[in-house]
Structure 1
Amino acid sequence: MDFRPLAHFTAQDTWLNDPNGLIVRDGRWHLFFQNNPHGPDWGNMSWGHATSPDLLTWTRHPVAIAHEGPEAIFSGSAVEQDGRVAAVYTSAYADGRQAQSLAWSEDGFTFVKDPANPVLDRGSTGFRDPKVFRYGDSWRMVSVEADERTLLVHASTDLRSWTEVGRFRDEPGTGIWECPDLFPLRLDGEELWVLVLSVQDADGSRVVHRVGSFDGSVFTGGPPRLLDAGQDFYAPATWTGAPAGRRVLLGWMAQPTYAGATPTSPWRGAMTAPRDLSLARVDGSPVVVQKFSPEVTAAFSREVADLPPAALVRCGFDGDASWEFRAGPDVLRLAVEDGSLVVDRRASGLVDFHPQFARVDRLPLPAGTTGFSVLLDRCSVEVLAGPLAVTQLVFPREPFDELRTGGSASARVFAR
């Protein structure tokens, strides 16, 4: 079985993880990403590169920023200054130190490292994942001290000289924070700020978001809520410079615990479908709502009777319901039971490559939900239901080719 997805980005024959440096320039969506250019396992971390005119058709390019000597190129972001693209990334050195560095590009494809690197060094082994954005007439960088579960805010006018201006910490806990993103969204005419963090601890990995305020130095937010309740969603980032003020998100479709064991060699790792973000109120509190980006829904516009290998399925219900995606003996089961969404991949195909993969999840649906969208691909399923998002990998031995419904379920299937 060829598990390479038809509607999601993968590296050609190497390892991929976090999306990095997402920026729109000259009508192109640039996707940089964590990449081992030498094989399908984690290591030799560099920035791979791809571009797309439509968020679905991707052209792979040569490695943009390569590991070199004692320096690995960890996650970061990209912005445009004075007509050049500045990649701001974590230099991870062989001695364990992590610091922030710059690389510059005239064309967005070929990068030259700044001779002043690293431009921000705290002498730390957990200082990483810079996200840079414009705030007023200067730059802000949010990054993490991962092991201290602390968000750092720095300010700069030139991307080279940085001053710490604020911090954010949560309640005491264990584990690490990674891959912060901080951006504004509007709700009822009010500008609110969304902080996204990827978290790893004894309970596994997950992505949470908080909605609150930001004054250029201090973020103040409400309690953390899951951004995606699935098992295979991590290290998301949003594009800088998306058109029409859109906030478009992309995540790594994997679970760090078993990402290195997935049965897809010679490539390993895929991105989610792009999602447009907005805010809505749930029980009086603002939360992030995700929808498949309009480029995705426009591409899946042809309604069909049979289930193709990649499909957008519009599911409806008015009570308990079930949807079974089948390929011979392999079954991925979605269901609505007692107001919860059930995602059962225990019999979905290849499940024994890691003891944590075969599982069933039961997730409360938002009140009043009567439908959701499913994007099915050769090795993944993404479910979006207002503020609930669920991303799971699946590895059927043949592509799912049959959809059975039960109870009050309805389904409309759309192909590219």
Structure 2
Amino acid sequence: MNVKRNLAALLFLLWMSVGLCAAQNQEGLKVHYLGANHSLIQVVSPRKYLLLPVEEAASEATIHVLVNNKVERTLTVRLAMNRVDYWVPFDLAPYETGKVSLDVHTGNSRANVRDAMEDACWSDICLSDTFDASNSEAFRPLFHHTPRYGWMNDPNGMFYKDGVYHLCFQYNPYGSMWGNLSWGHSTSTDLVNWKAEEPVLVPDGLGMIFSGSCVVDKENTAGFGKDAVVAIYTSAGASQIQSLAYSLDNGRTFKTYENNPIITSDKECRDPNMFWHAESGRWILVLAAALEREMWIYSSPDLKNWKKESSFGRGYGCQEGVWECPDLMQLPVRGTDEKKWVLICNINPGGPFGGSAAQYFVGDFDGKTFTCDTKPEVTKWMDYGKDHYATVSWSNAPDDRHTVIAWMSNWQYANNVPTKQYRSANSLPRDLGLYKVGDGDYYLTTVPAPETLALRGKKTMDYGAFSVGKNGVAKKLPVANNGICEVNLELDARTAGKVNITLSNPKGEQTVLTYNLTDNSFGMDRTRSGLTDFSKDFPAITLAPAPQGRKQHLRLFIDRCSIEAFDGEGRFVMTNLVFPTEPYTTLSISTDKGRCRVGNLTVYPLEVENNLTIKKNIVK
């Protein structure tokens, strides 16, 4: 009898260890536990979505999507182990004609099946015909573009066509941390109100879809059709190769080119950016050779066959991090008939205050070679904040504009900022130009796109002109829409050495902006701005060279989690995230000594009429 009992116990333990059991069934689902870290989910009664429970502290699970027992695609999801942070939808609609199963390999390292069955994901996974994407985040911006849910980093594939701006971006629809990179897609007719669209490119057999660019092929050089939208992007699998896709419906959907890849290399190369060069009658493509810290320049007659013409960058500018996300454009020089070429190069790490940033080079381009005007050791920064990266422009923009947008975060802490439903946001759109200084050097001008003026509400808070000293003067900021606003002011520092502009709330949280007349600098101190303890790299003071002279003009754009400071003439810009636990309600201006004259202080409460990325949004 004891032998039989021992044998039965042994068989039970063996059964539990290898997982030969079918677990509890959810409505419409059947879950088989095949091992301590291996399960199979069968969709028995399909609906629109399978809602996957996510816990960000959990390890990534690898999920093979099986359709009629064949692997259709693979994705990674941090399936909840101890608690559910949020849900993400897996769209079942494309598979309605087949039997769908999910082969799940978790990274939770459970000791046995019984422990694995207790993971939170199994009790909270469910089928649904809708997914509630209405905003649940206190820090979600109101006038900056964000994804409805999930992770976003680099903007890419941006183009303008038939009155619509298309913004694609690096997107993970299966969690708010980096992974599963696809091209998310939003559209706008005015650059400030955005409509969320369906992703246009998703991972395939060549890998995830990294950054790239789109052009409108007006003359049908590629043979896909007149005015086809052509995308070239990095396929990131075991290696990084360049692939092509095209759209015949104004960028709503794309078809991948059957002869991909179109550019290969044994180096780590990514983020192709292309444009039509009228003088040479060819397409030009700039490719970032990331670890070589170079930009490679190619030409093509048809967008399919590319010839490498030259390289630029070795030994130039900041060489501390990898080089990524290039853009090459010709810009007018303010007040002259002259034009110069600008090569944008985003780097990570190596930014002036740590982490990622964007540098640029000014020079000439002859259709094959870019030649920089400055010495190799000179570094010029596009933005002097910590949260401005992957800056690229819209192709085919109207009126020959060069309008750019950036990812408003930093790789030092992007995965850890205090939001869960989504990460991250884009900067305001900005128009670029050049100005020339006395020694003959050229620098970028960066100003908010004029479309941002439409954000101003009908009511303004006009505080006029007044004088301030060490004791300072405080003015109220708007309370509507969580205090989002634009602030315009002029300063005449007169006898002051420093002028401080402090944004604060009743909790004592504050961000301090300072003009230092001694060293002609502008700074932003966010060390006490609100939530800062999610990363040791977040508390920071950032500094920019300010125009010389005691008279300054400043424009501030304050959203729920960001401050963008623009010099009135565009000679510097500074972008920083802030996470105050209550909106800033007071703007105070003071000096370290002497007096400062404040002129034309005007606060514009901002309104967003139709931002579909933040309004209540039930996805059906």
Same topology, TM > 0.5: yes
SS in 2 for 1:414: strand
1:363 partner letter = A
Residue in 2 that maps onto 1:156: 300
Is 1:186 the counterpart of 2:329 in the alignment? no
1:46-68 deviations in Å (ceiling 9; x for gaps): 00000001001100001110112
Any conservation in 1 of the 2:292–2:314 contact (CA below 8 Å)? Answer: no
Measure, in 1, the Cα distance between the counterparts of 2:398 and 2:544.
Answer: 33
For residue 252 of structure 1, what is the aligned residue in structure 2? 407
Q: Residue 373 of structure 1 is aligned with which of 533, 555, 573?
A: 555
Aligned to 1:66: 202
CA contact (8 A) 2:164 2:187 kept: yes
Shift of 1:69: 4.3
C-alpha RMSD of matched pairs (Å)? 1.5
**TM-score normalised over the length of structure 1:** 0.96
1:394 is aligned to: 578
Aligned to 2:423, the other structure's residue is in SS state coil
1:307 equivalent to 2:464? Answer no
Query: Aligned partners of 1:211 and 1:28: how far apart in 2?
Result: 30
Q: Aligned runs of 1:177-216 on 2, under 5 Å?
A: 177-187=323-333, 188-201=336-349, 203-216=354-367
CA contact (8 A) 1:99 1:123 kept: no
2:174 partner letter: H
Name the structure 2 match of 1:12: 148
| Partner of residue 100 from structure 1, selected from 223, 237, 242 | 242
Q: How big is each residue's C-alpha offset from its partner over 1:61-114, in whole Å with a ceiling of 9 and x where there is no partner?
A: 011101124510000000011221111100001x2x101111111111111111
Residue in structure 2 matched with residue 363 of structure 1 by the alignment? 544
Of 207-216 and 297-306, deviating more is 297-306
Aligned-pair identity (%):
37
Number of residue pairs matched by the alignment:
413
Using the TM superposition, name which of 283-292 and 375-384 deviates more.
283-292
Q: CA deviation at 1:213?
A: 0.3
Higher RCO, Cα 8 Å, sep 6+: 1
Which of these residues, 428, 431, 435, is aligned with residue 273 of structure 1? 428
Conserved in 2, the CA contact under 8 Å of 1:24 and 1:239? yes
Q: Deviations over 1:239-274 (max 9, x none)?
A: 111111111010000111111110011100100000
Tell me what 1:286 maps to.
Answer: 442
Distance 1:164 1:291 in 2: 34
Cα pair 2:384 2:542 within 8 Å, conserved: no
CA contact (8 A) 2:183 2:199 kept: yes
Could you give the per-residue CA deviations for residues 270-328 of structure 1, whole angstroms, max 9, x where no partner exists? 00000111111134311110111100023226422642322111122111322211122
Q: In the alignment, does 2:475 pair up with 1:324? A: no
Residue by residue over 1:168-201, the C-alpha shift from the partner in whole angstroms, topping out at 9 and shown as x without a partner, is 1231744211000000012221221000001123
| Partner Cα separation in structure 1 for residue 571 and residue 447 of structure 2 | 9
Question: Residue in 2 aligned with 1:128?
Answer: 270
Structure 2 portions without partners, runs of 5+: 1-136, 218-225, 463-475, 607-620
Which amino acid in the other structure matches residue 491 of structure 2? F
Letter of the structure 2 residue corresponding to residue 378 of structure 1: R
Contact (CA 8 Å) 2:216, 2:396: kept in 1 or not?
Answer: no
Structure 1, 22-31 or 67-76: larger mean CA deviation: 67-76
Matched residues in 1 for 2:183 and 2:585: separation?
A: 36
Q: Aligned equivalents of 2:396 and 2:340: distance in 1? A: 19
Task: Find the aligned partners of 2:213 and 2:389 in 1 and give their Cα distance.
Answer: 16
Structure whose alpha-carbon radius of gyration is higher: 2
Distance (whole Å) between structure 1 residues aligned to residue 276 and residue 544 of structure 2? 37
Aligned to 1:264: 419
Q: Flag structure 1 segments of 5+ consecutive residues without an equivalent.
A: none
Question: For each residue in 1:106-126, what CA deviation from the matched residue of structure 2 results, as whole angstroms up to 9, or x when unmatched?
Answer: 1111111111111111133x1
Question: Which ranges of 4 or more aligned residues in structure 1 deviate by more than 3 Å?
Answer: none
Aligned ranges 1:44-59 → 2 under 5 Å? 44-59=180-195
Q: For residues 370 and 291 of structure 1, what CA distance do their matches in structure 2 show?
A: 15
Structure 1 stretch 84-93 or stretch 330-339: which is displaced more?
A: 330-339
Query: Once structures 1 and 2 are overlaid, which stretch shifts more, 274-283 or 29-38?
Result: 274-283
For 1:27 and 1:266, the matched residues in 2 are separated by 31
Match of 1:88 in 2: 232
Q: Secondary structure at the match of 2:356?
A: strand
Question: CA contact under 8 A between 1:380 and 1:394: conserved in structure 2?
Answer: yes
8 Å CA contact 2:501–2:514 kept in 1: the answer is yes
Which of 175, 198, 202 lines up with 1:39 in the alignment?
175
| Worse-superposed segment, 64-73 or 295-304 | 295-304
State TM-score, norm by structure 2.
Answer: 0.65
Cα 1:191–1:342 shift into 2, 3 Å: closer
User: What is the DSSP-based 3-state SS (H/G/I as helix, E as strand, rest coil) of the residue aligned with 1:120?
Assistant: coil
Distance in 1, Cα, partners of 2:243 & 2:571: 36
Give the strand-richer structure, 1 or 2.
1
Alignment match, 1:145: 289
On the 8 A contact 2:355/2:386 being kept in 1, the answer is: no
Q: Which residue of 2 is the match for residue 334 of structure 1? A: 513
Q: Does 1:415 align with 2:596?
A: no
- Specify the code of the residue in structure 2 equivalent to 1:381: I
Q: Quote the Cα distance in structure 1 between the aligned partners of 2:602 and 2:557.
A: 12
- Cα separation, 1, equivalents of 2:432 and 2:181: 29
